[in-house]
Amino acid sequence: MINSRNIKRLMALAASVAPVLAFAAVSYASSGGGEGGGGSQVMAVVWQLLNFSILVAVLVFAIKKADVKGMLRERTELIKKSIDEAREAKELARKALAEVEERLKLKDQEIERIISAARSSGESERGAAEEEGKKLSEKILEQAKANIEFELEQAKAEIRAEAVELAMELARKKIGERLTPDEQRKLIEESLAKLEGSK
């Protein structure tokens, strides 16, 4: 930052350069360079030199004031600090990645254990279900056999009853054809007498 002391230094520098430039201009004019409109050229050169001197003085002052070495040193330290922070961040990221990979490995093992347990449980349940199914099919088969035998016995009984009924019907017809009504009545009375005697 330019303060009043620096301005005074610049003015002192310009004041010390100005007489040199003025002397150079006068020397040039007295040597005959000022004839034929040369004075205005001299003044133009003087002003250019004066402007150049002031510019150089300002640049030198600015470079000294800016402390370029300090700025470069600070920049180097900042870069070094950024590199160190980047290294630390990389190391932290590597550790975090290792932790995540370890957790994933544990999760994979846990998933494999769960799958294995489910597989063995499924196999035991399947075995139990097959055994239960076998027992149930045997029971159903036995029940079906019992039902078939029962139905067969009933059918046989019905056939026997029908056969007896048919035989009796045939016997009645044959007996009815051979016996006269008096013989039939007599036969019935004898049968009733036998039945009463058996009681």
What's the domain range around 190? 147-198
| Banded model confidence at residue 80, pLDDT cuts 50, 70, 90 | very high
Tens digit of pLDDT for each residue in 163-179?
767 767 777 776 666 66
| Domain-located, residue 30 | yes
Helix 4-28, helix 38-66: angle, nearest 10: 150
Q: Is the pLDDT of residue 48 over 70?
A: yes
Average pLDDT value over all residues in the chain: 76
**Structure confidence by residue, pLDDT tens digits, 90-135:** 899 899 888 888 888 888 888 888 888 888 887 877 777 788 888 8
Total domains present in the chain: 2
Asked whether the beta carbons of 71 and 63 are under 8 A apart, the reply is: no
Residues 6+ apart with CB under 8 A from 58: 10
With respect to residue 78, please indicate whether it lies within any of the assigned structural domains.
no
